[in-house]
Amino acid sequence: MPIQQLQHGHGVSITPNDNAYIWQQLFYTYKVYTTLYVGGAGDLHVLTAGGDDITFTSVPAGSFLPVHVAKVFASGTTATGIIALDITTQPTEFTGLLDTYSGAAAAYSLRQLSSSYSGSAIRVRRSSDNAEQDIGFASNELDTAALTSFCSGTNGYVTTWYDQSGNGNDATQTTAANQPKIYDSVSGVIEENGKAGVDFDGSDDYLFANQLDFDNEFIVSTTKSVLSGRMLNARYNGNNVVMITSGRYRRDTNDLSFNGPYYDVKINQQTLLSGLSQTTLYQDGALITDFNSQAYSLGNTDGVFIGIRADFSNEWEGVLQELILYTSDQSSNRSGIETNINDFYSIY
């Protein structure tokens, strides 16, 4: 682990942070609550273990705060020399999907995929004032409490979906009108099957990442329309392409149609697609065998287009939760990867 595991009676310095829980600063995998020692006098703004937002005013230097807390906020905290004491539960190390199945070319998800990844999940713009903020993880899932705090009462849109593979190929959208939604001003966090998701409106939303050569892809998504929107259109080296549209999968010159007849897709149902080299596609763990050689326009721009065709048409309407692209054939790992994904999302 990045720091020592704390036993009862040990302590570690804490930096007040509006977005990170104490257990995240200590690299633990679940909420762990502590008693706090205050070295320098001042106010202390905390979130208690019971979920109460409290500010202790004029805390004297040398004090022990007699409640267990989950977070020390930077805003409203003037006390210094804060130390976390008395960890209440023995921590265990987190193992992510990419720890077990490495080699991803890019990995976009609203859950943490690697124990070595220390960045945020997404960067969000709120529509009320166009302010932006990175949103990280809590208990290895998107920190929806931080997202709600930032976007409460307004809409929130994804400007960057960070790549957790370590390759730094973030998927971005700088045009406000084309940014997919993550938070709704009325209903709150966008979700599918109880997990946060990024909502593409089928009109003009998309994200773009740089050109990648990859062999396999694993995607958790929910299609909302039968129209031929492109969930994924990755084009590289001119004529090489990976394309997923409503009911169709294409890699280079090979086509597969899935879910039976053309456009007979699972509407409003969360789905796991596992695309392997050339002509192999699995949907919810089942092999698809229906080939279809109908010609399809691929677009004309190299890069990874999420939610749109590579010529900026054929927008996809749906919710995307996870997209992992591998540089090597994962046929031997497919079952394990699908199990990891399904255990988290409960898709099938």
Q: What share of the chain is helix, strand, coil (3-state, %, to 5)?
A: 10, 40, 50
Backbone angles phi, psi at 343, to 5 degrees: -60, -35
Exposure string of 98-135, with b = 16+ CB inside 10 Å and e = fewer, is: beebeebbbbbbbbbbbbebeebbbbbbbbeeeeebbb
Give the pLDDT band (50/70/90) at residue 310: confident
Residue-wise pLDDT for 262-302, tens only, equals 434 577 889 998 888 666 788 899 887 666 655 566 666 78
Q: What is the pLDDT of residue 29?
A: 45
Q: Can you say whether residue 346 is alpha, beta or left, with left for phi > 0 and alpha for psi between -120 and 50 degrees?
A: left
**Domain residue extents for the chain:** 11-85, 97-345
Least confident window among 126-135, 233-242, 301-310: 233-242
> Whole-angstrom Cα distance, residue 193 to residue 113?
19
Positive or negative: CA dihedral 143, 148, 149, 151? positive
Centre a 10 Å sphere on the Cβ of residue 238 and count the other Cβ atoms it contains: 8
Choose from 2-16, 112-126, 302-316 the range with maximum mean pLDDT. Answer: 112-126
Choose from 221-230, 268-277, 322-331 the range with maximum mean pLDDT. Answer: 322-331
Q: Give the fold, CATH level 3, of 97-345.
A: Jelly Rolls (2.60.120)
Nearest to 76 by CA among 146, 135, 18: 18
Report field, pTM of the whole predicted structure over 0.75: no
> Whole-angstrom Cα distance, residue 342 to residue 282?
13
Beta strand 207-209 pairing with 303-306: antiparallel
**Joined tokens for residue 286:** 């089942």
**Regarding predicted confidence, which is higher, 46 or 243?**
46
**Regarding predicted confidence, which is higher, 23 or 157?**
157
Determine the residue type at 32: V
Q: What is the pLDDT of residue 193?
A: 95
Q: What is the pLDDT of residue 208?
A: 96
Specify which residues 200 forms β-bridges with.
Answer: 318
Residue-wise pLDDT for 154-193, tens only, equals 999 999 999 999 999 999 999 999 999 999 999 999 999 9
Give the pLDDT band (50/70/90) at residue 346: very high
Least confident window among 70-74, 87-91, 148-152: 87-91
Q: What is the pLDDT of residue 241?
A: 67
Least confident window among 29-43, 142-156, 234-248: 234-248
Task: Please name the helix (run of DSSP H) or strand (run of DSSP E) that holds residue 151, with its range, or none.
Answer: helix 144-151
Q: What is the pLDDT of residue 235?
A: 72
Q: What percent of the chain has pLDDT over 90?
A: 54
Residue-wise pLDDT for 102-111, tens only, equals 999 999 999 9
Q: What is the pLDDT of residue 190?
A: 98
* 88 CA to centre of own chain: 29
Examine the pLDDT at 259 and tell me if it is beyond 60: no
> What mean pLDDT is predicted for residues 140-148?
95
Least confident window among 14-18, 133-137, 251-255, 343-347: 251-255
> Whole-angstrom Cα distance, residue 148 to residue 186?
11
Q: What is the pLDDT of residue 242?
A: 73
Average pLDDT, the chain: 84
Q: What is the pLDDT of residue 300?
A: 65
